[in-house]
Structure 1
Amino acid sequence: MPALLTMLVLIAYPLVFGVYISGFDTNLINKWKWVGLRYYTQALSDPEFFHKIGLTFKFAFMVVIGNMVVGTLLGILLNMNIRFRLFFRAVLILPWLFPEVVVALLWKWMYNPLYGLFNYILQGLHLIKDPIPWLDDPGFAMVGVVIACIWKGYPLVMILVLAGLQSISKDLYEAGEIDGGNKWQLFRNITLPGLMPVLLVTIILETVWWFKHFTIIWLLTAGGPVDATSVISIDIYKIAFTDFRFGRAAATAVLVFIICFVISYLYRRFLTDDK
């Protein structure tokens, strides 16, 4: 019962209330004008909405792919019998433990065109002559944000993959070696199938999390420059707390929730072995 009440208060109530206010033109205090589905039709007929959704898919895709590649490789390496394995595990998990605000400010300092670490190193190696405005150039901004998010997000994948690897019985590998399997064949026929349930859950969690991500992007670029990193979460924030159109912001958030739900369903539909 305590767990159920906690879920109702922290998850169910905000979700239901968000759907409720999406049908009103409201200031959340004394103005409650019923508008029905107007804000949904406005969003779905607005080309800018679909542009922001496309940009969000691009951002989430790059971050999830980066997290899966980096996290999986590190998880496999840390599962091997290497020296200082516990030390590396403790160090590599640190980015996940840092608050997102700290991560954003750290990377913003490294990206700074005047005294940032990246420009200092590149100029010291004589690879560039003039400082690069990493977060102020539309061509670099998205890549810079994605790299920071990958650094923040890969430890979760690493931990889940490491846990999945340790749950695979060593007897399977011994049997495979007796049958003459090489390392690639053992990975393809034992490790990868054994990791598939973990990878499926990880991909779903990662995609939903980064599709609706806000904090790091907002603190690094605030959606700029020239809307180059203005993903849908930034757009919702601006609609609600800059334009004070809370109903329209809630309607957009509900559409994002539906998209995330569909993504999760499609992952489970096409990536599982159940028929």
Structure 2
Amino acid sequence: MKSAFKKRESRSGYFFTLPTLLIVFSLIIYPLGYAIFISMQRTNLISEWKFVGARYYAELLTDAEFLSSLKISLTFAFFVVVGNFVVGLLLAVILNQNLKFATTFKIILMLPWLLPEVVVALIWKWLFNPTYGLINYILNTVGLIDSDVSWFDSSTSALVGVIFVATWKGYPIVMIMMLAGMKNIPSERYEAAAIDGATRIQQFRHITLPGLRPIFLVTCILETAWWFKHFTVIWLMTSGGPAGSTKVVSISIYQQAFGDFNFGKAAAESVIILTILLAASYFYSKAIRNDND
């Protein structure tokens, strides 16, 4: 009887997990496997299918243009993630002080995250417009510039501009996660530290930051994965220009696939990016495990 019951219970377990397994296979395993398959083909996805093996991977690892886009992606993601953490953590500390109208400020500060990326890109592209943009108008009014500046005609200012806009768009989620983490730190720790004579800065350094470490690492994984492969804001604001100075790897993939119709090479680029992000996630998760130990 026990054996029959265990078998029936085992079958029930498989039955209830089957829908989840099907969803995982449909949304993750099959698309990933198909992308790897395409990366080994020279194909237009319709009539041309020719197996080329690891040819595209070998080409990309020595392709100066791809390596340049990879470097730009790393630079863009690094400064956006750092900017998000600096701004998000600073605002979280301020909002954690039981300020009057704190809820109103939270709603206002969350607005950039709630706006669609297309809207954000178009708003800031208008603000940076050299002819009728509000930024040039303000700078001219206060006397900081004496002529209109074409912000996206310079390689440096274009990259700085898209990093600034991406940071403006992305800091709210970091702010909310840091604020949630601060709420979970027991107030008794701060009270004991205050009794021992610790200053606010010392409390922040020795209590707040260690308490936020697990959230900090998880947020790093999410932020790095999101901004490293980001496309929308950069494409709408600069299209990768000028002279490829903002051509991140996602734009390179897009142009390979829908400009040159070289879907195999575009898929190979995507697989390389996936590998890089998996490696980064591994090191992040290893740091989290070490922290928990």
Normalised TM-score (structure 2):
0.90
CA distance in 2, matches of 1:65, 1:231: 18
Residue deviations 1:163-211, cap 9 Å, x none?
Answer: 0001111121122222332212211221111100000011111111100
Partner of 1:53: 70
Partner of 2:194: 177
Partner of 1:187: 204
Given the alignment of the two structures, is residue 249 of structure 1 paired with residue 282 of structure 2, yes or no?
Answer: no
Comparing 84-93 with 135-144, which one deviates more in the overlay?
Answer: 135-144
CA distance in 2, matches of 1:193, 1:12: 37
Equivalent residue letter for 1:137: S
Partner of 2:132: 115
Equivalent residue letter for 1:41: A
Partner of 2:247: 230
In structure 1, stretches of 5+ residues that fail to align are: none
Partner of 1:65: 82
Identical-residue share of aligned pairs (%): 52
Residue deviations 1:134-171, cap 9 Å, x none?
Answer: 11222210000001000000001001001000111112
Q: Over alpha carbons, which structure has the higher Rg?
A: 2
Given the alignment of the two structures, is residue 204 of structure 1 paired with residue 218 of structure 2, yes or no?
Answer: no
Equivalent residue letter for 2:79: M
CA distance in 2, matches of 1:51, 1:154: 27
CA distance in 2, matches of 1:222, 1:155: 25
What displacement does 1:4 show? 4.3
Helix, strand or coil at the partner of 2:151: coil
The 8 Å contact of residues 44 and 263 in structure 2, kept in 1 or not, is answered as yes
Alignment of structure 1 residues 27-176 onto 2, 5 Å? 27-176=44-193
Equivalent residue letter for 1:91: I
The 8 Å contact of residues 218 and 284 in structure 2, kept in 1 or not, is answered as no
Comparing 67-76 with 135-144, which one deviates more in the overlay?
Answer: 135-144
Normalised TM-score (structure 1):
0.96
Helix, strand or coil at the partner of 2:291: coil
Given the alignment of the two structures, is residue 221 of structure 1 paired with residue 256 of structure 2, yes or no?
Answer: no
